[in-house]
């Protein structure tokens, strides 16, 4: 390590891991849990991206890795941010125009609701609402478990954002789903297929 340490310029998995480590040491496994809880509503990452990301950060001297032997378990690798890593993080945070992208197969599908049966529309919407409600419960849970914790204003803001937007999405779906299932729609598909 400690060679070149190319600085991060995008908020990719690597940089987010670096940011998480700025709050304290953690293993790849720990970071995954954070991606699954407080970050889950806006940034997904699996082991397949986290472990390579940590290895790359270590290669660039942005983090150090301490291997801790455990009984009956594989070695736990604890990562800590370095000064170079901290500088790199600040630089990334200074970079311009972070993206905010939505890719929704759900909405794409509903654009063609007139080609779906009412039963199928209901099924797709019910599944989405289940996901949303699970997500709301998770956000509430994260919020509840962080009352005592030393949470940053940033994390609180982001959590609140997720809550607000998720709720708006749920309410819109609940209040407007009926517009998708009408008698007129049913005939469209029948006429096309029959």
Chain residues that interact with DNA, rule: CB under 7 A: 10, 12-14, 27-30, 33, 44-49, 51-52, 54-55, 70-77
Asked if 7 interacts with a second copy (CB under 8 A), we say no
Alpha-carbon distances of 125 from 121, 148, 156, rounded to whole Å: 6, 37, 29
Query: From residue 134 to residue 163, what is the string marking binding to a second copy with x (rule CB under 8 A)?
Result: ------------------xxxxxxx-xxx-
Interacting partner of 86 out of DNA, a second copy, none (Cβ under 5 to 8 A depending on kind): a second copy
Q: How far is the CB of 11 from DNA (least distance, A)?
A: 9
The CB density around residue 169, as the number of other CB atoms within 10 Å, is 14
Cβ proximity to DNA, 2 vs 75, nearer residue: 75
Of the candidates 15, 21, 45, 49, the one whose C-alpha atom is nearest the C-alpha of residue 33 is 45
Q: Considering Cα of 3, then 77, then 38, then 145, what sign does the dihedral take?
A: negative
Size of the site for a second copy (CB under 8 A): 69
CA distance linking residue 16 with residue 89, whole number of Å:
9
Asked if 47 interacts with a second copy (CB under 8 A), we say no
């Amino acid at each position: 390590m400690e060679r070149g340490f190319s600085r991060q310029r995008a908020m990719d998995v690597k940089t987010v891991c670096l940011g998480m480590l700025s709050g304290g040491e953690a293993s790849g496994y720990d970071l995954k849990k954070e991606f699954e809880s407080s970050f889950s509503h806006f940034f997904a990452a699996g082991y397949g991206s986290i472990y390579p990301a940590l290895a790359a950060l270590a290669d660039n001297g942005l983090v150090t890795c301490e291997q801790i032997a455990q009984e009956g378990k594989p070695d736990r690798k604890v990562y800590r941010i370095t000064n170079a890593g901290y500088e790199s993080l600040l630089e990334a945070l200074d970079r311009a125009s972070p993206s905010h992208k939505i890719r929704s197969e759900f909405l794409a599908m509903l654009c063609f609701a007139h080609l779906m049966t009412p039963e199928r529309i209901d099924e797709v919407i019910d599944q989405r609402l289940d996901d949303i409600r699970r997500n709301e419960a998770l956000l509430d849970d994260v919020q509840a478990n962080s009352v005592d914790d030393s949470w940053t204003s940033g994390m609180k803001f982001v959590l609140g954002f997720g809550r607000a937007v998720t709720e708006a999405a749920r309410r819109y779906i609940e209040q407007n789903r009926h517009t998708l299932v009408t008698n007129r729609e049913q005939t469209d598909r029948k006429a096309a297929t029959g």
